[in-house]
Amino acid sequence: MPSKDGQVEDLARGLAEGEINEKDAIAELENRGLTEKVALRGSAWGYLIWVIPCFLPWLAMKTNWDFLSPITDFIPYKFPPTAVYLALGFFFLAILLTVWGMGFNKNRGGCQTEDYTVVLLCTGPYALVRHPSHLAWSVIFATLPIFISSYIPFTLLSIVGIVGIVVFHYFISIREERALNLKKWGSAYREYMRQVPRWNILLGLWRHLKRGRDRNHDEA
């Protein structure tokens, strides 16, 4: 039976010793309810926080629906090219961070898939922030309205949508930790939380470099 302090320890050990295979581990994770599907059930609706404010002005302009006519009064903001290119740059960096995190899940998470893990990942992107994917998707959704603003009007409602989606992703990061990660890895994850910030990638990079310097100093 898995211990309450770490409910996937037996699965990770079974995979390492060849007692079970990846399909068995995934089936057991689903049986125990230790999946994002369970922990974040219903959260997909939260993306409407972003979709509706960001695209409603465009829809109001393209239709003649009377109930949307007040929205056409929102003045669209025109970004200078520098801001558009900067947003595009952050967008692609976020894509890279997402792919990096998914690759680590698949190759080192124990189940050979980005959706299920039994190994606590503390290296690569996870050495910098605890939730690289949630951070990356927040950046993607925040920058997308900026560099497509020539086609989809960027208004005050777009700012509301951006703030909303960032807050939403931060909330589900907390929810995932409480409902999933702490159950899966227990005290090991609590120690990981102490060392690595949830989203602050600059602080995470500084701490990562400091840990590297400390190790080199100890080995010298």
Q: Are 54 and 161 in contact (CB under 8 A)?
A: yes
pTM of the predicted structure, to 2 decimals: 0.90
Terminal Cα distance for the chain, rounded: 43
The proportion of the chain whose per-residue pLDDT surpasses 90, expressed as a percent, equals 83
Which H or E run contains 89?
Answer: helix 81-108
Q: What is the mean pLDDT of the chain?
A: 92
- Checking if the pLDDT of 3 tops 60, the result is no
- Checking if the pLDDT of 1 tops 70, the result is no
Mean pLDDT value of segment 111-122: 95
Grade residue 211 by pLDDT with cuts at 50, 70 and 90.
confident
Please tell me the predicted confidence (pLDDT) of residue 218: 67
Please tell me the predicted confidence (pLDDT) of residue 74: 87
Q: Which domains does the chain have, with CATH numbers?
A: 9-219 (1.20.120)
Give the pair of three-digit tokens for residue 46: 């939260």
At a CB cut-off of 8 Å and minimum separation 6, what does 79 contact? 87, 146, 149, 154
pLDDT in tens, 142-168: 999 999 999 999 999 999 999 999 999
Residue 105 burial (CB count, 10 A): 24
Q: Burial level of 29, CB count in 10 A (0-12/13-18/19+)?
A: buried
Q: What is the C-alpha separation between 10 and 190, in angstroms, rounded? A: 19
Mean pLDDT value of segment 9-38: 94
